[in-house]
């Protein structure tokens, strides 16, 4: 008598759990359908600024063909600040093209006023420069796409390309690329990273120097080629076609004080003047902002 009662109880329990399972399954289907609808409706009405398909295409395009750029490799030169050198990022033709494009439009460089956020003249920065509109021709679009591929930051976040020209004795004193004023951080967002491309060689000096960098500054492969004052910090020697990427923000999104850097302070007074053989030095700058 006790046996059937005992066996009926588990049977009732199992039909109950079947019902719960069925309900759960139905609920899951409803959730899936809602998700599917949500996913399907998103791309059709929103632009796709961060579509990554082009990155995949570009990567496979470039396998095998170097576009006349020679051997390319990337070197980590520092983690504080995060800084990387991409060798032969631009071809010689691209460097010359950019210089010729910019040459007729060079104007004295300005700096951002940390109080008003507006640009102003400064003795701190004595180079000349010009901006190139984003996507203005095929060469520029190719380079912008290459920058996006290397940095994993979409082209849309770029500020547009700036070509800078330093004559002997011109300089940009130690500075941060991130904004310290409210005007710029609220209109356009904080600057997160900078990519510098060296468009010409320099015989001596002209290094980009990070005086606050942590680590062994003499471990860079080009240490013996640096000028005396280039050895005062972590230095990158300008070489035509090379690109330097450094981050102004740490991975936790705070500003990185190690990203302090300067340009071309490494000319001693006696080096400045006609007897010193030096080709004018071009630098191509691309900065990324938080959207």
Ligand X SMILES: *[C@@H]1O[C@H](CO)[C@@H](O)[C@H](O)[C@H]1NC(C)=O
Tell me the closest approach of the beta carbon of residue 250 to ligand X, in angstroms.
24
Q: Which is nearer to ligand X, 110 or 218 (CB)?
A: 218
Q: Which is nearer to ligand X, 156 or 225 (CB)?
A: 225
What burial letters (b/e) apply to 229-258, b meaning 16+ CB within 10 Å? ebbbbbbbbbbbbbbbbbbbbeeeeebbeb
CB 170 within 8 A of CB 126: yes
Tell me the closest approach of the beta carbon of residue 207 to ligand X, in angstroms.
17
Alpha-carbon gap, residue 45 to 268, rounded angstroms: 59
Tell me the closest approach of the beta carbon of residue 212 to ligand X, in angstroms.
18
Distance between alpha carbon 84 and the CA centroid of its chain, in Å?
10
* Residue carrying structure tokens 């600040």: 81
| DSSP for 229-284, written as a single string | GGGGSEEE---TT-EEEEESB-TTSSB-GGG-EEES----GGG-STTS----EEEE
Tell me the closest approach of the beta carbon of residue 78 to ligand X, in angstroms.
13
Alpha-carbon gap, residue 77 to 89, rounded angstroms: 16
Q: Which is nearer to ligand X, 158 or 230 (CB)?
A: 230
CB 118 within 8 A of CB 257: no
Query: In the complex, which residues of this chain contact ligand X (CB under 6 A)?
Result: 216, 218-219
Length of the chain: 291
Tell me the closest approach of the beta carbon of residue 216 to ligand X, in angstroms.
4
Q: Which is nearer to ligand X, 147 or 217 (CB)?
A: 217
Helices 53-62, 138-151: inter-axial angle, 10-degree rounding: 100
Kind plus residue range of the DSSP H or E element containing 148:
helix 138-151
CB 288 within 8 A of CB 191: yes
Rounded to 5°, the CA angle 135-141-144 comes to 100
Tell me the closest approach of the beta carbon of residue 231 to ligand X, in angstroms.
12
Q: Which is nearer to ligand X, 116 or 218 (CB)?
A: 218
Tell me the closest approach of the beta carbon of residue 84 to ligand X, in angstroms.
18
Distance between alpha carbon 269 and the CA centroid of its chain, in Å?
33
Q: Which is nearer to ligand X, 114 or 216 (CB)?
A: 216
Q: Which is nearer to ligand X, 110 or 216 (CB)?
A: 216
Tell me the closest approach of the beta carbon of residue 227 to ligand X, in angstroms.
18
Q: Which is nearer to ligand X, 176 or 223 (CB)?
A: 223
């Amino acid at each position: 008598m006790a046996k059937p009662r005992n066996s009926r109880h588990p049977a009732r329990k199992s039909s109950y759990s079947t019902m719960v399972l069925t309900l759960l399954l139905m609920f899951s289907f409803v959730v899936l359908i809602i998700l599917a609808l949500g996913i399907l409706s998103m791309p059709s009405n929103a632009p796709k600024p961060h579509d990554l398909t082009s990155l995949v295409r570009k990567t496979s395009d470039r396998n095998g063909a170097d576009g006349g750029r020679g051997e390319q490799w990337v070197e980590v030169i520092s983690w504080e600040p995060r800084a990387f050198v991409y060798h032969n990022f631009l071809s010689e033709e691209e460097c010359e093209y950019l210089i010729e494009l910019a040459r007729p439009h060079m104007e004295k460089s300005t700096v951002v006023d940390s109080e008003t956020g507006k640009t102003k003249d400064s003795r701190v920065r004595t180079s000349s420069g010009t901006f190139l509109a984003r996507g203005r021709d095929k060469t520029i679009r190719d380079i912008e796409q290459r920058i996006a591929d290397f940095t994993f930051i979409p082209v849309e976040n770029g500020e547009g390309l700036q070509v800078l020209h330093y004559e002997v004795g011109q300089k940009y004193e130690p500075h941060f690329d991130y904004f310290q004023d409210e005007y710029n951080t609220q209109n356009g967002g904080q600057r997160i990273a900078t990519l510098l491309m060296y468009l010409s060689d320099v015989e001596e000096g002209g290094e980009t120097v990070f005086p606050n960098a942590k680590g062994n500054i003499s471990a860079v492969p080009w240490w013996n080629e640096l000028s005396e004052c280039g050895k005062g910090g972590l230095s990158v020697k300008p070489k035509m076609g090379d690109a330097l990427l450094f981050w102004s923000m740490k991975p936790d999104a705070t500003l990185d004080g190690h990203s302090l850097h300067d340009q071309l302070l490494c000319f001693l007074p006696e080096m400045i003047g006609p007897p010193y053989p030096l080709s004018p030095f071009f630098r191509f700058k691309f900065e990324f902002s938080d959207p």
